[in-house]
Structure 1
Amino acid sequence: MLVKIDQPTPELPVPDVEAAQAYYRDRLGFNVAWYNEDGQIGAVSHGDCALFFRKTDGPIAAGTFWVFCADVDAAHDELRERGAPITDPISDKPWGMRQFTVEDPNGHRFYFFHDL
């Protein structure tokens, strides 16, 4: 029997943890989970999805993340209404996914998708 491994929790570098948390709360519908001022680290969550943010100085190496959505069309509509920057609108892709793309102010890219 294999040991059960849960979803990873990525840590995204950001210049301002509290600003990142506010952005994800306001634009993407996440809940602010916690913030540690001494460690300059904090977290947000949305359902089973959790993200950590850590303050970093200097250039940011942006990450790319794929987020499965049971109802990707509803997710698209909700994020659009919240003012999320959708950089690639929802569409059926030739690789067998229905997806759209959101990019945050720090360049981190999220592909929201559902298999066709």
Structure 2
Amino acid sequence: MHKTDDKPLRFGRVAAMLPVHNMARATDFYIGVLGFQNVFQNGDPVGFMILEREGAEIHLTLQPGHKAADFNIAHMMVENVDALHDIIQQQGLRVIKRLQNKDYGLRAFVFEDPDGNRIDVGEPI
């Protein structure tokens, strides 16, 4: 094990970086619909933003040429996954994998945000 001094290696915060085509549309969803708060932004026009809600943190980065991946780019643990699923459906967003109890102990589903980013959402059963 490599150490630069006698301190152990420790990890702190890790947050998903979500590429977005349009920052206003993304914040309408993450702030206006999901209730995240903007705790930092940079650029004029804004090209980077940090959003937080309870223990969750996501970073938005303006990428006008972004093409969404066809795999999950973030996993989000929530309380009351059914309520979030209802919100996603009310917003008319695409559900990739339907809400169901999984054999690995989560009630989960996968949706696409307004920029096509696939987010896997789960709650312990």
Cα deviation 1:71-104 (Å, max 9, x = unaligned): 4334434x34863626034211234321122211
Match status 1:58 vs 2:65: yes
Matched residue SS, 2:31: helix
Match status 1:67 vs 2:76: yes
2:24 corresponds to which of 11, 18, 21: 18
Q: 1:29 to 1:101 in 2, by over 3 A?
A: farther
Q: Note the C-alpha offset of 1:46.
A: 1.4
Matched residue SS, 2:28: helix
Query: Matched residues, percent identical?
Result: 23
Q: Kindly provide the amino acid, as one letter, of the partner of residue 52 in structure 2.
A: S
For structure 1, list consecutive stretches of 5 or more residues without a partner in the other structure: none
User: Scaled by the length of structure 2, what TM-score is found?
Assistant: 0.70
Match status 1:106 vs 2:115: yes
Aligned residues: 115
Contact 2:94 2:112 in 1 (8 A): yes
Q: Kindly provide the amino acid, as one letter, of the partner of residue 105 in structure 2.
A: G
Look up the match of 1:28.
Answer: 34
The 2-side partners of 1:82 and 1:34 are apart by 28
For structure 2, list consecutive stretches of 5 or more residues without a partner in the other structure: 1-6
Q: Note the C-alpha offset of 1:2.
A: 5.3
Higher gyration radius (CA): 2
